[in-house]
């Protein structure tokens, strides 16, 4: 994905406080704007431009989000800012079931703790932080007042979207089952990730699932989504609260993914039985 996407619109409004010095122990707060492209596939080919625009407006709260990352040397807390749907004034209840919740990362212990709500039930996902094999390049650019270095990685797609659900993936997995009920070895989908990090803020944190570079990640592009930092506040006057969520049924990433997949299959099958009556 080209890094020029959104760049002009963001840089004009970018406001990042310069970092004059880094204390041995410090805190910071980074704001990120996330924007995703709407992919309608073959279905969209049958739609008019007016229809596409209407759908994009209705899904605006899913395609554009703002997040905050609180961090210190070892820990970070990442969560979405509350945002109402511009069309209806209501939160997106369907999308909320498959969106990332409050996320805590401890890079010293290589631990992820994330709160996820699925149809009213709260889960506490605890798992290891996945190792990301970054390839650091020589290309640089400025984001606000910070000099950033480009890094690339190829990451299994499921590792980035374990909290999400796709009917397409479910159909593909069911089609791979042979007549004996055995499942063919699935092909692992991969996502190419481009990140820009700044050594001026020497922490290994980043937005979402991304971490592990020798500096704070200020921009990251994966598939049709871009996250770009719009503001950084270093050592705020009021101490930041960086704590892991602690409510919900404890579960691993894999178990959580299996849980929501089984629930969605159950909902689909129940609808099918009702229609056949």
The token pair at 141 is 């650019």
Rounded to an integer, the average pLDDT of 138-143 is: 97
Beta-strand pair 225-234/216-222: antiparallel
List all residues 6 or more positions away from 264 whose beta carbon is below 8 Å from its beta carbon.
165, 167, 170
**Across-strand partners of 32?**
67, 229
Calculate the alpha carbon distances from 183 to 177, 186, 228, 264, 268 in Å: 4, 8, 40, 19, 21
Give me the residue spans of the domains in the chain: 7-39+54-131+222-271
| d(C-alpha 231, C-alpha 38), whole Å | 26
Rounded to an integer, the average pLDDT of 142-167 is: 91
- How sure is the predictor about 36, in pLDDT bands with cuts at 50, 70 and 90? confident
The token pair at 14 is 């970018």
Read off the pLDDT of residues 62-96 as tens digits, 9 standing for 90 and up: 557 899 999 999 999 999 986 544 444 444 555 66
The residue that leads in pLDDT, 135 or 170, is 135
Read off the pLDDT of residues 250-269 as tens digits, 9 standing for 90 and up: 999 999 999 998 888 888 87
The token pair at 202 is 């020497």
- Mean residue pLDDT across the chain: 79
List all residues 6 or more positions away from 172 whose beta carbon is below 8 Å from its beta carbon.
none
Say if residue 141's pLDDT is above 70: yes
């Amino acid at each position: 994905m080209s890094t020029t996407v959104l760049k002009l619109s963001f840089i004009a409004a970018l406001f990042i406080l310069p970092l004059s010095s880094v204390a041995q122990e410090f805190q910071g707060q980074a704001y990120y704007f996330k924007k995703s492209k709407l992919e309608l596939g073959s279905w969209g080919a049958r739609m008019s431009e007016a229809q596409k625009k209407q759908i994009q407006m209705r899904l605006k709260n899913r395609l554009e989000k703002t997040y905050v990352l609180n961090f210190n040397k070892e820990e970070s807390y990442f969560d979405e800012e509350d945002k109402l749907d511009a069309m209806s004034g209501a939160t997106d209840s369907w999308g909320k079931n498959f969106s990332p919740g409050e996320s805590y990362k401890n890079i010293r212990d290589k631990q992820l703790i994330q709160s996820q709500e699925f149809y009213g039930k709260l889960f506490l996902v605890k798992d290891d932080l996945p190792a990301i094999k970054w390839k650091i390049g020589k290309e640089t650019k400025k984001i606000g007042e910070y000099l950033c270095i480009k890094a690339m990685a190829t990451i299994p797609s499921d590792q980035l979207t374990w909290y999400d659900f796709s009917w397409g993936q479910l159909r593909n997995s069911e089609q791979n089952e042979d007549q004996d009920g055995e499942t063919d070895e699935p092909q692992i989908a991969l996502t190419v990730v481009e990140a820009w990090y700044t050594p001026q803020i020497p922490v290994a944190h980043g937005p979402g699932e991304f971490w592990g570079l020798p500096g704070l990640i200020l921009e990251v592009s994966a598939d049709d989504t871009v996250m770009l930092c719009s503001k950084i506040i270093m050592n705020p006057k009021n101490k930041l609260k960086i704590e892991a969520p602690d409510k919900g049924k404890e579960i691993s990433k894999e178990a959580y993914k299996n849980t929501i997949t089984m629930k969605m299959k159950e909902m689909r099958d129940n609808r099918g039985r009702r229609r056949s009556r």
